[in-house]
Structure formats: structure tokens, C-alpha cells
Amino acid sequence: MQQHDDMIATFLGIDLAWQSERNPTGAVALRESAGRLQLLEAAPPLPSLAAVYAFIERNESRRTFVAVDGPLVIPNSTGQRRCELELSRQFGSRHASCHSSNSTLYPDAGSVRLANWLASRGFEHAGSASGDRLMLEVYPHAAYVALFELPSIIRYKKGSAAEKVLGLRTVQHTLRELPWVYDAALDELLSVDPSTMRGRARKSFEDSLDALFCAYLAFHFSRYGMSACQIFGNSADGYIINPTTALARLAVAAA
């Protein structure tokens, strides 16, 4: 039976820039099609929160899950949030420790403003609610490690240009293991040679890959829920949702 359009979920991934009014944000929209994921939009670099809001508005549906790489709840004025400490304890040995988020470092944080804007549109935090319009904070480094059972993070954000290019190729190769509906736009994103890019162009490409993975994590949570995810912290003090079940075991379970 064909699924009615208003029951098909949309999955949005937002790789939010720490200073979202100064630096560009990556954003990707996916839609499920017969258990696989179809690319709706890989946005060009979004220069402001207003542009992020517009991206969400044009891609959201009645059932929408938004995964954000950025701290959605920051109650602490100094130090780290509890969720960052907890995740770092579990994944620090694999180099996936978190950055510190607090209101002194990030006063009036764009990520918190985004969360409040989403809440005004009926989105709830996935860690404390269930429904058709959910937001969740994710951390790609730890998610890659858990989902693909990696011994360490994929290193594509720091190092020499050659090291970053090698890391981006590894990210592309890893992402190809996910259940995609391939078309020209998605194939371009996962096949283009990052060595052909320089400076801002390569950084924007990195942001798009991060956003693509965030969108997948929104799908992962929607599909498997907390049976295949772990929550660090809580929606009051700040939280991060991370997959716990490796992709290979999920594929076996689904067979």
C-alpha cells in the first residue's frame, strides 16, 4: 500500500556554525522512500539563522525530525554540560570528546535560539517526548564511532590540507554504507573529489557532509528510537542522542 504523503517523514540535518551569524551553516533535507533515504535538498552555505529558519520552513512536513550538531540547551554559565562530560567519558578514548558549551562562551547562542524557534513551531526535544515533530542534538564524531564501530574518529576537520582531504574521502566512503536512494545530486556529494576544493569551498563541502549525516541520525532515531540510541544528559540540563547499535547489526535485524 502506498504511504500517504502526509505520513511520510522528513529528516533535516543542521550542521550549525558556532557563530551562526558570522559563519555559514550546512543543511540537508532527506525524505524516506520505501525504507531508503532520498535527498531533497543540500543547501548552499546558509549565512544566518534566518536562512536556517527558511531552509526548515521550505522542507518541513507534518512529520519532521530535525537533528542539530550544536548545543540546543545550555543551562550552565561555565564549564561543560553534564551530557558533554558523560559522552566524553565514554568516547574520549576514541578521541570523540566534546567541546565545552556554556553561556559565558556562547552568550545568546544561535543553537539555543534555533531550539526556541523550533519549539515555537511545535517541535519537542526528542529526549523527553515522542511525536511527529521532534528536534535532537547530535554529535557526529561520536555517532560515526558508534554506528560504524570505529576504533577512533574519522579525522577530517584538523591537520594539513592533505590530511583533511583524506579524511573527507573516508567520510564519503563511510556514508555510502547508509541506505540511500541515489540520484545525481547525492552521487555528486558522495563522489566529488575533495582535493579539487580549497579553503571555504572545502569547508562548505565538509559542512554539507556533516549535515547529511545529521539528517541520517534524525532518521535513525525516528526508525529505531531509544532501543538503538543512548541519551547523554537530559532535555533540562542539555542532552546528546547517539546511536548505540552498529549499522551492521541493524541490517541483520531488519533482514
pLDDT in tens, 124-136: 999 887 889 999 9
- Asked whether the predicted pLDDT for residue 93 surpasses 90, the reply is yes
Report the domain count for the chain.
1
Q: Name the least confident of 122-131, 152-161, 171-180.
A: 122-131
In terms of residue numbers, what domain contains 53? 5-254
pLDDT tens sequence across 193-209: 999 999 999 999 999 99
Beta 124-125 vs 180-181: how paired, if at all?
A: unpaired
Q: Which residue has the cell 504511504?
A: 3
pTM: 0.95
Q: Per DSSP, what are the bridge partners of residue 35?
A: none
- Residue 2: band (very low, low, confident or very high) from pLDDT cuts 50, 70, 90: very low
3 state SS of 111? helix
Inter-residue contact 58 to 126 (CB < 8 Å): no
Residue 3 burial by Cβ neighbours in a 10 Å radius (0-12, 13-18, 19+): exposed
pLDDT tens sequence across 28-74: 999 998 889 999 999 999 999 999 999 999 999 999 999 999 999 99
Contacts of residue 96, defined as CB under 8 A and 6 or more positions apart, other chains included, come to: 87, 88, 139, 141, 142, 145, 153
